[in-house]
């Protein structure tokens, strides 16, 4: 367990400050991502799994202006809370950090997945990730699921391990997905196939994260 946890801490250090006072603990065991980061990345993975394991996994029509505006408003909670905290206007606690992190992580796959699919599987399922009232209701449902899991994790060792591991997987998925989106756009006019651009973006993101974690380990131990 100690070896596995050391790996999780090492991987989490690539993007997270891991300050003890801003992190959750189970006994003496510190979560590998701080309260805000675990909200972002655990929420991202939960939402992505919901879409990819359901009927929307191949949706390939990007969201319209109305959906994008609503998701943007939800995700702005993260930016607002982070800004007022770092500017010293109001100090966040771990609860608020987690909830604002989830506000970014949960909605993002609803935009990102159809965007990527529009390049890789353009004709597989010509629908949007959000079209009906039921689709909209998935957002608060996923938010409550994510919040419940993270906030209860420090009371149960198994849940703590699951949330921590999923947070690290979500971290790699988050940056790989965004890097793949940039690769799909940046090489759109090239002869490189969409699937290879997708892999290129994911590999680049993974490599950078591992490099940052290694440098931090060498410099700070």
pLDDT of residue 1: 60
Structure tokens at 74: 């939800």
First CA to last CA distance, the chain: 20
pLDDT of residue 117: 97
Give Cα 187 to chain centroid, integer Å.
24
- The candidate with the shortest Cα–Cα distance to 47, out of 126, 124, 101, 122, is 101
The pTM assigned to this predicted structure is: 0.95
68 HSE (CA, 13 A, CB side): 9
pLDDT of residue 88: 78
pLDDT of residue 11: 98
Q: Is the dihedral of CA 92, 97, 103, 108 positive or negative?
A: positive
Q: What are the helix and strand counts (H, E) for the chain?
A: 8, 2
Residue 23: count other Cβ atoms within 10 Å of its Cβ: 22
Name beta bridge partners: 25: 30
Segment-wise mean pLDDT, segments of 10 residues, the chain, 221 residues: 88 96 95 98 98 96 96 95 84 93 98 96 93 95 98 96 98 97 89 93 98 93 71
pLDDT of residue 86: 81
Q: Distance between CA 42 and CA 31 in Å, rounded?
A: 12
- The candidate with the shortest Cα–Cα distance to 44, out of 170, 188, 157, is 170
pLDDT of residue 147: 98
Beta strand segments in the chain, E: 25-26, 29-30
Q: Distance between CA 105 and CA 39 in Å, rounded?
A: 7
Q: Which residues contact 130 (CB under 8 A, 6 or more apart)?
A: 63, 67, 110, 136
Q: What is the DSSP code (8-state) at residue 16?
A: -
Give Cα 160 to chain centroid, integer Å.
18
- The candidate with the shortest Cα–Cα distance to 168, out of 16, 11, 3, 4, is 11
Name beta bridge partners: 29: 26
């Amino acid at each position: 367990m100690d070896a596995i946890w050391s790996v999780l801490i090492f991987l989490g250090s690539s993007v997270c400050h891991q300050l003890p006072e801003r992190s959750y603990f189970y006994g003496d065991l510190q979560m590998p991502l701080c309260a805000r980061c675990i909200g972002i990345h655990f929420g991202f993975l939960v939402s992505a799994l919901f879409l990819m394991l359901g009927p929307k996994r191949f949706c390939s029509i990007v969201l319209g202006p109305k959906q994008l505006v609503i998701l943007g408003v939800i995700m702005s909670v993260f930016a607002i809370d982070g800004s007022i905290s770092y500017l010293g206007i109001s100090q966040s606690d771990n609860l608020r950090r987690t909830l604002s992190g989830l506000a970014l992580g949960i909605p993002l796959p609803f935009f990102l997945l159809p965007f990527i699919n529009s390049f890789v599987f353009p004709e597989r399922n010509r629908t949007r990730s959000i079209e009906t009232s039921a689709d909209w209701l998935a957002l608060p449902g996923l938010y409550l699921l994510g919040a419940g899991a993270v906030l209860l994790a420090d009371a149960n060792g198994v849940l703590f391990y699951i949330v921590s591991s999923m947070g690290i997987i979500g971290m790699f998925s988050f940056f790989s997905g965004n890097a793949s989106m940039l690769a799909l756009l940046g090489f759109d006019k090239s002869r490189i196939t969409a699937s290879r651009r997708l892999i290129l973006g994911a590999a680049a993101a993974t490599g950078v994260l591992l490099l940052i974690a290694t440098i931090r380990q060498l410099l700070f131990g």
